[in-house]
Each structure stands twice: as structure tokens, then as C-alpha cells.
Structure 1
């Protein structure tokens, strides 16, 4: 699916940079990884926040269209991980808007709204989401994110989190603070309850919903199953100083090894293996399934196969295999000869059309080493792309060429769309010739669809290994990027958390062309949370945020209507 160009342009004009001070203290990362194991388990996490957790109301006011409350409480995160939350962020501020008159006295729906990236203070969510929903009879709580607004450290600029660890501190705080507010709502006779958010707020809402042991409306908008793709594959990846992160990561080998063992990369292969393990375990534990049934499932799968099993005696099978192997050798040799002949025929056509000289043709079709003179190089440059490929496939660069000293630039060679300048005569040998075992191991690079050694030996194709251009490399290509993927998946991937109590109350809204939140190779929301509904808008991240606010609100209203059907006498019915 194509991504939105508007997303990329919008991100490029923003000044916000992330993780400008690096990873954060290694000890803090270790503590967060350990704490993740607790908050990812609903039964254990729910015990961390008391039902009567103290909440202070500082303001209560009746306005013309609603009832306004403001308050605060100390984040439970400080209690369980002392010193990890900055002092200014330890006090969780919130604002609450309730209808003056409830549509139903026994049903007082309230939705918690979590902030997206850059959403400081309360005004944006209050005007765009909460007030319009008040007209539908749904109250709203607006919680200030740690590191944002009233909770922003004095030395932090805008939304620029200083450390990678800060995003995990923020997530841990919001999970526990959401539980505080849900408990507080229940004590005050409010419900059914729900949680929502846009972009980062949508993902934080998803994490918060995993730890409430009762039916809970969840409407995550413009988010997905993990934050790893956002920072490694989305447009926000360009707002991170990867060179700083890599240098810090490589500075302490012993500690790096210890931390890396604590994280797991969650991709589609991991999820497939996890699903297989669960299914296999269930089969082995199933009391009614006999060994014969298991064998039948293996040899008679439900999906179609193009293989027919025929029982044969072992001698006949061995003979068939040997016979086939004998036939494969001459076939392979014949194919090799045919390929070489075809290449020579194509070169003969170029010669007949006077596109190459006889001397160049003789070099390319010979079995001897040869040098390309400056006239030969000029002729090759004038060929079409296809013809140029045919010529280049017939030769490979000799290693000695580039081990020698470089002479002054005199000759220009144009390969593909790049301009390459080289001064040495290119010594080449036929590519069809039997491959000799190289003296030194070469590093394999998938540079183009041409697999000739020419491409991997040209100096301009070799990486310096110093700078990280996130737009040109895959996250698996550098160890620091792998670690970032690992810790993001470890602490934010929804598959590492409990499944929400009632997934039928989940309506996720995603943008088809979202360049901020890529959805490839990270696990689908519907598979992680069976029963959840995912809807898509034909837009990018930015355009969806601007144009589809009404859709987000309508999904919240619809999810609460579902919840009301399960709500009687102030509580959910099973």
C-alpha cells in the first residue's frame, strides 16, 4: 500500500527531534524491562493500583453546557519504580467534562482521552473530541501525558523526549494512571467506561485497555500493534539521531549484551511461531485426540497440496533418487553451455549492428583475461541499458584492480543511472568461467538485480559504515537498530500484553496510506485481538487527523452503544 506524501512533507518541516540525549540510563532501561513483565499481565498489573487510590479535585464548575472538574493525583509509577519519573511529571493532572443532564440515570458513559504526539494541555482534545461527544451524552476525561504540558521537564523543548527510555516511562505511567481514573469513575457511579486516543494516544489507549478486568470500550485511532515500526520505518524515523544512539549502544559491550537478551523482536515470523507453539501445545494436551487422529491431520491436511503420497519400497526410492541425480548433472551442464551460447549470440548481434568493435567482441567471447581500453569503455557507455547489461554480465572485475593505487581521473564510465569515475584499465575475465575459490571472503550486497561481481567491487558501492541513513537501510542491517526494534517491541507490542476483557467493544480506525504508522511485518490487530473490528479511511496520517474527526467520534459513540446493551443497574452483565 502506498504511503502519503503529505505525511512525509509535514514531518520534514517540523523541528521536533526525538531522543536527543540517547537511550537513557542503562539501569533505568533494565528496570523498565523488568517492570514490563508485570504490567503486561492483567492480573498482576491490576493489583498495583488500589480501588481507593487518592484523587484530589481542585476545581468544580458548572458551565452553560457542561460540568467541569479539574484534579490531580500522584502517578503510581513513582511508587513502584522510584526515581524513574521526573519530579515535575509525577503529579498527573486531568480535566473532566460531564453532561449537565444524563440521558439515562443508570447509564453514565465516560471516555478517557489520551494525548497524541505534540498534544499538550487539554484544549485540543476538549474542543475536538470531548465537547462534541457531550452532545451525544458521553462524558470525557482528558489526562495530561507525562513529559507534556504541565508535566513537561523545564529543559525539554516542545515534544522532544530526551531519551528512548522516556517513551517507556510515559507508557507505564499512562497504563497505571488510567487504572486510577477508572477506579475513581466507578467510585463516583460513572459507567460504562471507555478509552480512546489518536496516533500515539491510540496506542497508549490500547495498552491501558489491556489491564482493566471488565468490559471496556476501546477506540484507538491512527495507531497499530506496536511503536517499533513508527520509529524505525515511519517518517518519524528521520527525526532521530541514529548515529548518537549507535555510538552509545556500542560503548558498553557487557551491559549491551545483558540488555539485548531481555528483549524480543516481534515480527510476523515470531507471531507465526508463537501461534504454532500454542496450537501444537493445545493439540498435545487435547484429551480426545488420539495418535491416529494426529497422524491423519498431518498426512491429510485441510489445505490443498500438489503432492501425492505413494508408498514404495526403500530400494526403489533410492534407485529413483540416484537416477534423478544422474540426469541432473548433464542437464545442468547443458543449461550452462546454452546460457553461454545465448550470451555470445547477443554479443554477435551487437557486432553485426556495428555497436561494438571486433576487438571488443573477441575479448568478451574469449576464455582469457582481458583489459578494457578507454575506447572500449566509451563504446559500452553508448549502448542501451539492456545491451550494457549483456556486456557487463560477460565480465567481472579483477580484485587486483582496486587493490592498487588510484591514478588521476581520466576515464568516465556510466553504469545504470550513477556516474562512476575510474582511472584504471578494467581487467576482466569471462563470468561463465568456472568460479575459483576466493582468497578473501567478500561481503554480499544486494545492490541491483545484476548479480555480477562488478557491482559489489566498485568502490563507490561500498558503505563507509560510519553514518546511518535510516531511509536507505533496513533495521536488521545495524545492531543498534535491531536493539531499538527489540526494546520497542518488548515494551509496546500488544502481543506482549493481555488481551482486553471484551474485544467486541473494540473499534480501531486506521489510515490506509499512513506513513507515520507502517503496518507491514508487525502483526495485524485482528489476529492479536480476535473479535476486534478494524476500519480504514482512504487517507494518510495527517489528512485523516484533519478530515476524519467526525468518524472517530462516531466510532466512539457506536462502541458505547454496544457497551450499553451489556450494562444494567450500574454494572456490566456477563
Structure 2
């Protein structure tokens, strides 16, 4: 299945750049990874927000078919990870992605804020309750429901199991400030020496940066090149003529096996990624093991390609760590989940990523014709139908 040309064209028309300031402060990433482990476990997470968490209603507007409430509350995340949220985001609902870490702040805050709102809705007597969202909103809804301790309808539209593909192989990857990310990754050794060791393996797809991934990405990149959309900053051509052909191997007690050659990187089945650091630095070690001066003999373009690959793999790693739904609890009743996806979505790649049906056994996935943009513009009636159907299932299964 190809990708939507409308998705690609629409992305070209937008001049917005993502992560213009880089990865974010290393100490913030460390704190966020530790916090992810807390909210990734439903039993631990539900104790973070009390059932009487204060929510303040500022304005009530009565309409013929609904009631609109405008209110505010302090984000619970501000209590658990102090000074990591922008001041304007602690109470207001603004967000921007100037750093990679901002996406993780947004996700963690939304999980706890959703719990606060759901508790308030229950206190006010509203129900049944459910959650839905489109694109990033759909993914955020998935994370929120995974931490709610009761059965709940969930309808994520145009989202999938992880954001790693969105920012490495999807069309949004062309909007990322890769030069700044590469520079920071190269000049600040804390990413390679410390942060990598905090990443946890969450499934068979995580860090699978082997020949199959490279082959698929190169194929899709070739198609995008014809539309003048491929940025040289994420070139995955990893043919290095000076590199030794001898693989670099490492092993650990968790049956981890990492091998790397000039043709690609492969991380096989494992529960942790102790060898990930060596994987990322394979190119450099290969250069120097062949000849102490080999690295300096490489052309500037070859050295840059090596840095691009390492930055890309690191991006996939941190995205999987904080956004992969397999790193969070399975929702209480997956049969109440209806996922709506576009077959030709160029924003949300599904190639090489675990299916939500595998992670959430019993959920339903409905595929629409077309891509991300056309589905958003013309298929919202199908989104609403999925919402109706999910609530009908809930009422049929749990109504008194």
C-alpha cells in the first residue's frame, strides 16, 4: 500500500518546524523517563491523582443540545515533576514542540490531567465516559485510557501504537531540525553515555533498525525523492567504503544479541538494551578498529551520514520509550476499543511497527480509504460512527 500524495503535498505547504531547540535538557529527559515508568503502570498511576482532585469551573454556557463548561485546574504533573512544564502550561492549555522532551511532557501531563477530569465528571454524575481523539489526540487518548482503572470506550482515530515512525519515517520527519539534533547528540556525550541506558525495550519492533527497516525506509524515501521531499538530513544510505566488513558483536545475560555491519544494524529479541550504546557507536568503532586514522580519512559527507544514522536511531529509541503503548498498561477492556486508521496514511507509518491488535487483544481496527488529510477532512462521519458503536458496546456489556 502506497502513501497519500495529498498528505505529502499538505506537509510541503506548511512551514512549521519541529524540535527547533533540540532534544531538550538531558536532565529533563532523565526525569521524564523515570516518570514514564510510574505512569506506565496503572496501579501506580491511579494513586497519583485523587478522586477529589480540585477542578474549578469558571463559566457555564447552556445550549439547546449541550452544556459547555469552561474551567481550569493545576496540572497534577507539576506536583510530581516540578519545574519541567512551561509556566503557561501548568494551568492554561497551551503546548508547543520546541524540544523533543516537550512531546513527553505533553503526554505525561495529559495522562494525569485526563484522570483529574474523569474523576470530576464522575463526581458530577456524568456517564458513561469515553475518550477519543484524532492523530496525536488519538494517541494521547490511548495513553489516558490505559491508566484508567475502569472499562471505558476508546476510539483513537488516525493514530497507532507509537510515535517513533511519525518522527523518523513519516512526512513529519521532514519538518524536524535534524541538524540541531545531530549537533547536540555529537557534542553532548550524556546522550550516548547515560540516557541510552535508561531506555527500555518494549516489544519486538523497538529498535529494529536492521536491514529490513533500512530497505523499507530507503524504498519509501526513493518514492518521496521523486516529489523533492526527502531531506538529506535523514539519509539512511549506510554504504561506507572505508568501514571494515567484520561485524561488531556484544552479548549479555538477557540473551541479547546485537550485530552491526556496513549494511545495517540488527537488534534481536531482548528485554533490555544494554548493548544499545555500542550499536549507536558502531560506525565510529568500525572506523577506528580498521585503522586508527580511518575515521579521519572519511569524507565529510560520510562522517555526516554516520551521525545522521545515530541521531535517527536515538530518536526512535526515545520515542518508543515514552510513546509506545506497549510500555503502558493494557486498557481494562480492549473490546471497547475501535481504532480508525487510513490505509495510505503518510503521517502515521505502520510498517515495521507492532499492530494494536497484538498489543490490545480484542480491539477492533477499521481501515478507511485514503490518507491522513483526506480522512480528517471527509471521513469524520465514520469517526462518529465508531464512537457510537463503542458506546453501544459499553452499554450492552455494562449497563445495569
Residue 81 of structure 2 aligns with which residue? Answer: 81
Q: Retained in 1: the 8 A contact 2:207–2:317?
A: no
Q: Distance in 2 between matches of 1:28 and 1:516?
A: 27
1:68-109 Cα offsets, whole Å, 9 max, x none, are 2111100001010110011110015xxxxxxxxxxxxxxxxx
1:191-230 Cα offsets, whole Å, 9 max, x none, are 1110000000010010001000101110000000000000
Residue 45 of structure 1 aligns with which residue? Answer: 45
Residues 62 and 268 of structure 1: CA distance in aligned 2, closer, same or farther (over 3 Å): same
Residue 238 of structure 1 aligns with which residue? Answer: 174
Q: Retained in 2: the 8 A contact 1:266–1:486?
A: no
Q: Retained in 2: the 8 A contact 1:7–1:541?
A: yes
Residue 536 of structure 1 aligns with which residue? Answer: 367
Residue 249 of structure 1 aligns with which residue? Answer: 185
Unaligned runs of 5+ residues in structure 1 are 93-143, 148-158, 273-437, 448-460, 570-574
Residue 15 of structure 1 aligns with which residue? Answer: 15
Q: Distance in 2 between matches of 1:490 and 1:217?
A: 25
The structure with more radius of gyration = 1
Residues 240 and 270 of structure 1: CA distance in aligned 2, closer, same or farther (over 3 Å): closer
Q: Distance in 2 between matches of 1:267 and 1:542?
A: 29
Task: Tell me which of 186, 192, 196 is aligned to 2:122.
Answer: 186
Q: Distance in 1 between matches of 2:317 and 2:48?
A: 26
Q: Distance in 2 between matches of 1:201 and 1:193?
A: 17
Residue 505 (str. 1) matches residue 336 (str. 2): yes
Residue 197 of structure 2 aligns with which residue? Answer: 261
Q: Distance in 1 between matches of 2:205 and 2:176?
A: 27
SS in 2 for 1:74: coil
Measured after TM superposition, the shift of residue 567 of structure 1 is 3.6
Residues 481 and 264 of structure 1: CA distance in aligned 2, closer, same or farther (over 3 Å): farther
Measured after TM superposition, the shift of residue 512 of structure 1 is 0.4
Unaligned runs of 5+ residues in structure 2 are 209-240, 247-260, 265-297
Q: Distance in 1 between matches of 2:166 and 2:243?
A: 39
Residue 26 of structure 1 aligns with which residue? Answer: 26
SS in 2 for 1:193: coil
TM-score by length of 1: 0.53
Q: Retained in 2: the 8 A contact 1:526–1:533?
A: yes
Measured after TM superposition, the shift of residue 463 of structure 1 is 7.3
SS in 1 for 2:27: helix
Measured after TM superposition, the shift of residue 252 of structure 1 is 2.1
SS in 2 for 1:250: helix
Residue 396 of structure 2 aligns with which residue? Answer: 565
**Aligned-residue CA RMSD in angstroms?**
2.6
SS in 2 for 1:53: coil
Task: Tell me which of 273, 285, 302 is aligned to 1:465.
Answer: 302
Q: Retained in 1: the 8 A contact 2:203–2:326?
A: no
Measured after TM superposition, the shift of residue 439 of structure 1 is 11
Residues 250 and 561 of structure 1: CA distance in aligned 2, closer, same or farther (over 3 Å): same
Count of residues paired in the alignment: 321
